[in-house]
Amino acid sequence: MISLRARLAELALPLLGIKRFFSQLDRMDERLAKMRQAKSPRPAAKWQKRFRIEEDTSRSYPLVTLTPLGGAKPHAPHLLYFHGGGYVMDIAALHWEAIASLCDRLGASASVPIYPLAPEVTVTTTLPAMRALYDELAGELGAENIAVGGDSAGGGMALALVQDLKRDGRPLPGSLVLFSPWLDATASGEGMDAIEPRDKMLAPSGLEACGVRYAGGLPLDDPRLSPLFGDLSGLPPVAVFAGTSDILVSDARRLREKLGSLGEPPAVYREAERMQHVWMLLPIPEGRAALDETAAFLRHVHVKDAL
């Protein structure tokens, strides 16, 4: 049985208008233009009591870094986190709460790129920029000390980045965390249409439309957009979280099946009954439990590797 707060969140989600955004394709560009006028949020003031929060604008995008005021704990990973939003929407306050809460649990630092959005900037520019950032962090901290993570589209970006590194024979991060990952830009996974009436946030047609805007003319099954169709062998330890009321559970299930067929199943696979898209970020007991489990996974991987 899900918590009362989760049931209330389920009732409240339609009021946010996210489902309308992904369902009313004729108004998507109009709504994106309006979103661009809003100020990009940053971590709430309360986190300044626990972290040094810095913003570097020397790149083509802002990079926000969170560092515990007393310094990161020994062996705590450095989190490189890519936010979701269909590649077209900015980071949200909920992202910052989850990122800061996860770092607080671990005593860890984090780098959060406010990457350029589609359709203004597409995958052939964005993914190399994120690769350059990873290479910079890996050179400074050691690849094995980095945890790459992301939610929704950010989860797809995280997996695509790891595949890019593997293809070039570069050192991989120590771990990979995927929250409700969007791994197939074609939005054609089996079972999506049956789940869609229960999904309070997403619609397959809207996902595909966002994929087209991010693709910049590439086929939607290109692994840079749809890492589910790329090389999945030899990944670092991976944790996957999904919900049964999220159409993207289809992507998570296919990833689990493909990794299992390679003899490399996810180290953690958590599919929560009746949970909505990115429930791990929501202020509900189930979301807090997911962050607890993520922190335990990261401690196990990174502390073990450091010994």
Closest among 302, 297, 306 to 102, alpha carbons compared: 297
Query: pLDDT at position 284, please?
Result: 98
In the CATH scheme, what is the code of domain 4-306? 3.40.50.1820
At residue 250, what is the residue type? S
Residues (pLDDT < 70) of the chain are: 304-307
At residue 277, what is the residue type? H
* Residues 6 or more apart whose Cβ sits within 8 Å of residue 303: 75
Measured CA to CA, the distance from residue 17 to residue 21 in angstroms comes to: 6
Closest among 129, 126, 128 to 214, alpha carbons compared: 126
Instruction: Using only the alpha carbons of the chain, give its radius of gyration.
Output: 18
Query: pLDDT at position 306, please?
Result: 61
DSSP label at residue 236: P
pLDDT digits (tens, 9 = 90+) for 110-157: 999 999 999 999 999 999 999 999 999 999 999 999 999 999 999 999
Query: pLDDT at position 305, please?
Result: 61
Query: pLDDT at position 1, please?
Result: 85
Looking from the CA of 219 toward its CB, the CA atoms found within 13 Å total: 5
Measured CA to CA, the distance from residue 4 to residue 44 in angstroms comes to: 26
Please check whether residue 75 is in contact with residue 306, taking contact to mean a CB–CB distance below 8 angstroms. Answer: yes
Residue spans per domain, the chain: 4-306
Bridge partners of 270, per DSSP, are 241
> What pTM was computed for the model?
0.97
Question: What is the distance between the terminal CA atoms of the chain, rounded to a whole angstrom?
Answer: 40
pLDDT digits (tens, 9 = 90+) for 215-246: 999 999 999 999 999 999 999 999 999 999 99
Query: pLDDT at position 303, please?
Result: 83
Q: Which two tokens stand for residue 97?
A: 């709460």
Q: Which two tokens stand for residue 45?
A: 């003031």
Q: Angle, nearest 10°, between helix axes 123-141 and 204-215?
A: 80
Residue appearing with tokens 């840079």: 224
Report the run of H or E that residue 298 belongs to, with start and end. helix 285-306
* Residues 6 or more apart whose Cβ sits within 8 Å of residue 246: 180, 195, 199, 201, 202, 275, 276, 277, 278, 279
